[in-house]
Structure 1
Amino acid sequence: MTTPGFLDAGFIDAGFIERHAALAEHCHPRARHIDRPDPDDPAEVQAMQMVLHIPRADPPPRHEILAAAAASAIAVCLHPDTGLGGPWHDPLHAWMGARIRKVARRARGTAWDAAQSVPGVTSTAGTAHARALVPGRIGDLDPRIKKLQISGTDIPPEPEATKRLGPSQPVLAINTALGMTVGKAAAQAGHASMLLGATLTAEQAWEWARRDYGCTIIEAGPARWAELLEAARAGQGIVVRDAGFTEIAPGSATVIAHWGR
């Protein structure tokens, strides 16, 4: 859900333009080529925690989980509280100015309910819910989040022919050859939504925000992935490459984001 009064049809909020400009400054693919070394103290590392609601019985399909995760990440970055003087401004900018890390955790029941009290944004896609939290130092991680499992139950990918929802929203293609867990893929989808958002004009980002940052997830097999990678090289998509801290090799291409076509 969007914040009342935040997105009104017919004009773009000036604060939104400023927040989008900050996102573009820090997260445009060209900006991310700048090396950002980690601090010597691991507790000082900045990360965005992402909480995926995965009930034990009847969990949502993987593509809906990833779509919710992608929406929640960009929603935090462009939330009114991240504006200059807002309570989320400094922690968000400290994180965007460092190596952008996301850590996906799973929750259910009371643990999921408790996570709603930690500052962040919950997004919904179909039957799935994901909450991206305001980034911060690993050493300051809220106990309610710290106890949530990072690994555990995985949700297998659906066939490559996952339904598309039309050309009015982004498509995030997941590289199936990497065999990423749902948590890893959720973090990568969150990266993709931010990188894509940073390349849009303020007007385009505003329209996307009015649709709660909806996106379509496809699981791209080798043939489809090769096509998308070639299109991205021609400027028709954004490639997310992982730093290789977990699961996969550094530099692996994990997601390709493009506007629906």
Structure 2
Amino acid sequence: MTSNDAPAPESPPVNGPAGRDQAPQFVLPLVLHLEKTDPPARTDALETAARAVLTILSDERSLGDGVWAQAMRDWQDARIRKVVRRARGAEWRKAAALDGITVTGGSAEVRVYPPIPLDGWPKELAKLQVSGTDLDDPEPPAAPDPQGPVLWLNPELEMSAGKTMAQAGHAAQLAWWELSETERTAWQESGFPLSVATASSDHWRDLITSGLPVVRDAGFTEIAPGPTVAAEGGSRLCPLQRARRP
């Protein structure tokens, strides 16, 4: 995702790539609770990660003069980086004790933290694994609920669960930036319902030319640069406008 220089944490970045790359670089850490004997379902982990990003974006501590607000602004002044790591047992308990927010899905727990410098990871998080995280859906996921937004994955890509969780978080953030305050409040008060699903090839081609928010990965890890996730608005929550076509 290529985003930069936000005037406030709840607003989209406004400056170009040069300013984004010259600014100090920060990262939003997310930690997935992953026990060997009871891993979460993949789709639930993706949706929970997306909701975790929305939760910290909308938290009062991230806004105005809140204790996380400067960190959120600094993060959005540079490239919008997210890194997902995993923890179990004592590692998870130590990670959960750090300042942050734990968001729970059907089977997944994801803790999100205020942004930190790229080289400033706290020791409790720095030692956690970042690569090789993969998950399965033991049963076919439910069909996306059209009343809320759907984060559609690029059907041509294969990404680890951790990478895909970060990309889903990017898409949710792009959707959030598109909304009015009234629309944000309605979505937040409903608990940020959303769905994550893989698009068909035809649907994906339509999405990336629709004017809807599309995450375009910079290609630093796992995949080549290009589009990864598209956000499509819901009929009741998170309405997103398509571009008018001739």
Fold shared, TM-score > 0.5 on shorter chain: yes
Structure 2 alignment gaps of length 5 or more: 1-6, 236-246
Residues 165 and 208 (structure 1), Cα distance of their counterparts in 2 relative to 1, 3 Å cut: same
Gap change, CA 1:177 and 1:212, over 3 Å in 2: same
Percent identity, please.
34
Secondary structure, aligned partner of 1:66: helix
**Mapped contact 1:162–1:217 kept (Cα < 8 A):** no
Alignment correspondent of 2:241: none
Q: CA deviation at 1:32?
A: 7.2
Whole-Å separation in 1 of the counterparts to 2:187 and 2:227: 25
1:167/1:65 CA distance change after superposition, 3 Å: same
Q: Aligned in 2, Cα 1:158/1:244: closer, same or farther, shift over 3 Å?
A: farther
Residues 1:38 and 2:21 are matched in the alignment: yes
Q: Deviations over 1:41-95 (max 9, x none)?
A: xxx5311111011211131110000011001112111110012221101111000
Please list, as runs of the form range in 1=range in 2, the aligned pairs for 1:20-169 lying within 5 A after superposition: 22-23=8-9, 25-27=11-13, 31=14, 34-39=17-22, 45-156=25-136, 162-169=141-148
CA distance 1:131–1:255, shift in 2 (3 Å): same
> Which whole-Å deviations, capped at 9, do the CAs of 1:201-227 have from their partners, x for residues lacking one?
11111111112222111123xxx1431
1:186 and 2:169 correspond: no
Q: Distance in 2 between matches of 1:39 and 1:33?
A: 10
Structure 1 residues 253 and 24, CA gap change in structure 2 (3 angstroms): same
In structure 2, how many angstroms separate the alpha carbons of the residues matched to 1:156 and 1:257?
Answer: 22
Q: Deviations over 1:178-216 (max 9, x none)?
A: 110000001001101110000011111111111222211
Does the CA-based 8 Å contact 1:26-1:97 persist in structure 2? no
TM-score (norm 1): 0.80
> Which residue in the other structure is 1:5 paired with?
none
- 8 Å Cα contact 2:151-2:168 kept in structure 1: yes
Deviation at 1:37, TM superposition (A): 4.2
SS class of match (1:116): helix
Match of 2:217 in 1: 242
Structure 1 residues 231, 177: CA separation in 2 closer, same or farther (over 3 Å shift)?
closer
Deviations 1:93-150 (A, max 9, x none): 0001111111110111121121122222211221111111100112321110101100
Which residue matches 1:230?
Answer: 206
Distance 1:58 1:84 in 2: 39
Instruction: Tell me the amino acid that sits aligned with residue 211 of structure 1.
Output: S
* Residues 1:259 and 2:233 aligned together: yes
Structure 1 residue identity aligned to 2:232: H
**1: distance between equivalents of 2:109 and 2:183?**
24
Match of 1:199 in 2: 178
Distance between the aligned counterparts of 2:155 and 2:233, measured in 1?
A: 20
Aligned counterpart, 2:239: none
Between the aligned partners of 1:107 and 1:132, the Cα distance in structure 2 is 13
Question: What TM-score comes out, normalization by structure 2 length?
Answer: 0.84
